[in-house]
Amino acid sequence: MATVPSFIPESWEMYDMIQAFLQAPSYHLFVEVLLILWIFKLLFFSKQYAPESVLTEKEKEELIAEWQPEPLTPDVPDDHPVLQTMEKNMIHGKPGKYVIIGDKTCINMATLNFLGMAGNPVVEAEAISTLKKYGVGSCGPRGFYGTMDVHLHLEEKLAKFMNSEEAILYSYGFATIASAIPAYSKRGDVIFCDDGVCFSIQKGLVASRSKIKWFKHNDMDDLERLLKEQSQEDKKNPKKAKVTRRFMVVEGLYLNTGDICPLPKLIELKWKYKVRLFMEESFSFGVLGDTGKGVTEHFNVSGDEIDLIAASLENAIGSSGGFCCGKKYVIDHQRLSGLGYCFSASLPPMLATAAIQSLKLIEEDPNMLVNLRENCEKVHEKLSQIEGMMVVGEPIAPIKHLRLADLDMERNLDINTLQKIADHARENGVALTLARFLESEEHKLPAPSIRVSVNSQLTDEEINKTADLISQACQAVLPKEA
Amino acid sequence: MAREGKINGVRHEYSNGKTNGTLARANGHHKNGKHALKENWRDNFIETFEQTPLFVAVLTYLGYAILVVIGHIRDFLRTIGIEKIKSCTEPKSPGFVPLYQSWESFYTRNLYRRIRDCWNRPIASVAAAEMDVLQRATDDHGWNFSLTGEKKHVMNFGSYNYLGFSQNTGPCADAVEKAVEKFGVSSCGSRQELGYTDLHRELDDLVAEYLGVEDAITVPMGFATNSMNMPALVGHGSLILSDELNHASLILGSRLSGATIRTYKHNNMKDLEKKLCDAVVHGRPRTHRPWKKILIVVEGVYSMEGSIACLPDVIRLKKKYKAYVYLDEAHSIGAMGPHGKGVVDYFGLDPREIDIMMGTFTKSFGAAGGYIGGKKSIINHLRISSHAAIYSSTMPFCVIQQVLSSMKIMMGKDGTDEGRKRIQQLKWNTRYFRRRLYDMGFILYGNVDAPLVPMLIYVPARVIAFSRLCLERGLGTVVVGFPATPIIESRARFCLSAAHTKEMLDKALSIIDEVGTILHLKYSRQPPPVFSEKDIELIQVHRFLY
């Protein structure tokens, strides 16, 4: 605001100031006068900095003409190996339990269709019936008439399925956890994160701008060490500690290793050190536990112990999008501050009902989860027998990483070998994929692997056949021991 | 007389609040549908940003001041326990740092809560020209809502259904049904991990053809198209020059990329040139090394302002300073230009002059997701190193098919002139609707050709009253206020659609007129800009073939 005009009588504060000024001891005045003089000196007599050399227009033009930017992207030719692999692996038609690649029908051991929901006719029929009512797109974000009743139904269904108070629906799996983390954790907050987490969590951490403390993958001692360090730091600066939120971020079932997080221990640490726990369950939701609720059910732990569970609907559920669930006071916050929720169009309604239908199918027939686990164990056992390869991950995990037993010094050579195995397998009727990474961007780059995913619908016969074919492919490609 | 510098639609330069529309001729468009030549694009570029009348500004601030004071009083009452807290609040858990600071949610608790019914209105029908809004009831003044089970059939002026492809019947819906039967719902895999099918390739190819670029890549979520692809383009040591009103996804993408971000004033080419010149001449701060590359990030049509990027100028500057341009056409693809190919088409420019053509399928095509188009080498690079291509699943098949079918209609590949009709209808609707609103004396922002029509309401209470009264009378529209807009520029926003008929527009206009009179919203003190919808050849049959 503008300065106070002179006709306004001085306030009492001014009077008080003058009184205080008059009553102050003389050395006080002396120091103040000195200070004022010093300010004057700084203002008017300080050494003039050499004026920044001003460039003439001509010089500027020369600089502009001189500057050569880097190309926007490196020139990637059409025959780049990754592109070639992508083209070679292009699927024709439905990516269900079987896929057609080229002219070959293969058993699908690559896409994350754990329960066979992709390709399930009941789910498809439900999607089509919604199409006939709502069309495809929702044409708006949730705030602006993009909320359809089916979105509310799906949120309700998910909350009920997970036994939590509330669920919030996102329109893309990747954006779910990547938006949820920065909605709570801001600059100055601290996140303890497992160093084996998947990329979407890593991006969420970057977007939060919080301080990240990485602990070794599934190493609870290392986590406790960091937590202890933090509590000591907090004791030194209790004022700061009072406003510093602390979070642990883990994955339920790690995409990159196929491990399950030690949830009971994490919960113990959560209460001991008063840190909130966020868990991403994209690969365990609809997979682990007797009814598919994920890691909490697997360990028989109440979901309330975890502050936020996020999961994608793109894997076991076979639809699109993702969700977060937890207590109402936690989840509701995202409706105004989850970036991917507020600023994105809502999930196409037909995908929402497809997800509802998948959940219903899981509820109706929890047997498929038993089948899945049995299949996982069988595949695990079979793959472990392959010479020259090792299988990483829990036996009951539907994601298995098949790595080379002897790693070469050069990553690319290993990737080539693995790709050859995958190609060989594909030609013989098994579709496999390498786990792909953006090597320069990953926090901790996992060793190259073939990521095998297991479908609950596989029969014993198919599992045996698949394992044999993979084994053959490995033998054909791997150098024979002399 | 201060007429200079107003043409580019920069609000900050309208000292006298005059519109530049007075400069323009009524006839900006040639009969053959071709847009005006590049050189004189300014003649047809009519954009208004009338200054807030002083009295209204005072009233608005007063409104917020009262709300804030009352909010503080009620917060005080809540802390001493006189007023009950009806929302679910964080339970006290000893030792834990509260998840939210109390001041963080002051706005939500005390202002937003009173008006929550104006947003998130659930609907129970396709988001077409008309829709069924589910009625909600609250018995605790907006803390909680429950559905009453009743529906209200209203006209839809809130969905981004520019070309009217949000349909549950017709060739698109039929094709989608077949695609779901043939391909299923979802692919469950990422592009590089066996989630790439021939349908995805077909879409990539068609999008590239539609845009007139070499190649394109598609992502299942529009927001993620920006946030997951920008990091693959620029990084540390690069500079992003971003319009100050860019969408949240562009801001997030810029931030995730690790590049330095500078913003320039909205659509202000002088400011952009100054910042570009500075960047090239002075290089990076502290080290003074030259920037690796400079990326100008603009949107085609700004959704909250209804303004159109001055693309010819951006391209001129890009060439002069050797920068790259990232154009987000989320709200313009399909909706702008004589062929519905976005702002590039609107200005009659060559799409190859833009380095990154980004857009979404959510709006005009009635689907979901987004694309990036450009040179083959760039798209190949995105295919191998974009986050979206590696780490997340590919587009669901139903969405792909919807885009394929609607895009083919727009290109005339279905053998009808349905696409052209939709474009013409939208353009006519836009001009007609805007002209009538200007004539009524409302203050509108933006370009006369932008299908988004922001109408300024300013005073917070009036914003809410407007939304509620319109809905009562059968007009569903969107209102936006602080923090989505500057504090004194709360507004209503109408999204026009080719599916709106003239009768519907007239009905909507009479509702707006009535409510506007009741609430005293006709603030404008300026003569309306001169333009007309008459030169757009309108296909008289308002109902589409499909």
The reply to whether residue B387 touches residue A203, judged by beta carbons under 8 angstroms, is yes
Per the structure, the count of domains in chain A is 2
Q: Specify whether A319 is located in the same domain as A330.
A: yes
Task: Note whether residue A304 is domain-resident.
Answer: yes
Q: Specify whether A154 is located in the same domain as A211.
A: yes
DSSP state of A42: I
Q: Specify whether A88 is located in the same domain as A193.
A: no
Q: Specify whether A291 is located in the same domain as A159.
A: yes
CA distance A7 to chain B (A): 24
Task: Note whether residue A68 is domain-resident.
Answer: no
Alpha-carbon dihedral angle through residues A114, A119, A123, A129, given to the nearest 10 degrees: 160
Task: Note whether residue A146 is domain-resident.
Answer: yes
The reply to whether residue A69 touches residue B292, judged by beta carbons under 8 angstroms, is yes
Domain encompassing residue A424: 81-108+367-477
**Among candidate residues A301, A431, A286, the one with its CA nearest the CA of residue A368:** A286
Of A313, A332, A364, which closes a domain? A364
The reply to whether residue B368 touches residue A145, judged by beta carbons under 8 angstroms, is no
Task: Note whether residue A137 is domain-resident.
Answer: yes
Q: Which of A73, A142, A412 has the highest number of chain B CBs within 10 A, making it the mutation to test binding with B? A: A73
Q: For B294, which of A69, A83, A198 is closest by C-beta distance?
A: A69
User: Would you put residue A325 in left (φ > 0), alpha (ψ -120 to 50) or beta?
Assistant: beta
Q: Specify whether A293 is located in the same domain as A150.
A: yes
Task: Note whether residue A418 is domain-resident.
Answer: yes
**d(Cα A404, Cα A389) in Å, to the nearest integer?**
5
Query: Is B125 within 8 Å of chain A by CB?
Result: yes
Of A364, A396, A418, which closes a domain? A364
Q: Specify whether A226 is located in the same domain as A299.
A: yes
Is the separation of the CB atoms in A314 and A118 below 8 Å?
A: no
> Which residues from B are below 8 Å from A108, CB to CB?
194
CA distance A327 to chain B (A): 9
Is the separation of the CB atoms in B420 and B186 below 8 Å?
A: no
The reply to whether residue B194 touches residue A108, judged by beta carbons under 8 angstroms, is yes
**Domain CATH number, residue A407:** 3.90.1150.10
User: Would you put residue A203 in left (φ > 0), alpha (ψ -120 to 50) or beta?
Assistant: alpha
Q: Specify whether A135 is located in the same domain as A279.
A: yes
CA nearest A182 in B: which residue?
Answer: B252
Q: Specify whether A359 is located in the same domain as A227.
A: yes
Q: Specify whether A186 is located in the same domain as A330.
A: yes
Q: Specify whether A353 is located in the same domain as A410.
A: no
Provide the whole-model pTM: 0.89
> Which residues from A are below 8 Å from B131, CB to CB?
145
CA distances from B361 to A292, A325, B335 (A): 34, 28, 11
**Domain CATH number, residue A289:** 3.40.640.10
Of A364, A382, A412, which closes a domain? A364
Cα within 13 Å of Cα(A147), Cβ side: 22
CA distance B190 to chain A (A): 8
Beta carbon pairs, A and B, within 8 Å: 361
The reply to whether residue B383 touches residue A134, judged by beta carbons under 8 angstroms, is no
Q: For B249, which of A110, A147, A343 is closest by C-beta distance?
A: A343
The reply to whether residue A319 touches residue B367, judged by beta carbons under 8 angstroms, is no
Q: Specify whether A132 is located in the same domain as A276.
A: yes
Phi, psi (5° rounding) for residue B372? -135, 130
> Which residues from B are below 8 Å from A117, CB to CB?
185
Tens digit of each residue's pLDDT, chain B (546 residues): 333 333 343 433 333 333 443 333 333 333 333 444 456 788 788 888 998 999 999 999 999 999 999 999 998 998 888 888 777 778 888 888 888 877 777 888 888 888 888 899 999 999 999 999 999 998 888 888 899 999 999 999 999 999 999 999 999 999 999 999 999 999 889 999 999 999 999 999 999 999 999 999 999 999 999 999 999 999 999 999 999 999 999 999 999 999 999 999 999 999 999 999 999 999 999 898 999 999 999 999 999 999 999 999 999 999 999 999 999 999 999 999 999 999 999 999 999 999 999 999 999 999 999 999 999 999 999 999 999 999 989 999 999 999 999 999 999 998 888 898 899 999 999 999 999 999 999 999 999 999 999 999 999 899 999 999 999 999 999 999 877 888 889 999 999 999 999 899 999 999 999 999 999 999 998 888 888 887 776 655 555 555
CA distances from B352 to B70, B298, B535 (A): 55, 16, 30
Q: For A343, which of B119, B247, B383 is closest by C-beta distance?
A: B247
CA nearest B406 in A: which residue?
Answer: A136
- Give this complex's ipTM: 0.90
Task: Note whether residue A54 is domain-resident.
Answer: no
* 3-class SS string, B178-198: HHHHHHCCCCCCECCCCCCEH
Task: Note whether residue A26 is domain-resident.
Answer: no
Q: Specify whether A307 is located in the same domain as A449.
A: no
Strand, coil or helix: A350 = helix
CA nearest A244 in B: which residue?
Answer: B97
Q: For B322, which of A67, A117, A330 is closest by C-beta distance?
A: A67
CA distances from B28 to B33, B45, B305, B427, B435 (A): 11, 8, 22, 13, 14
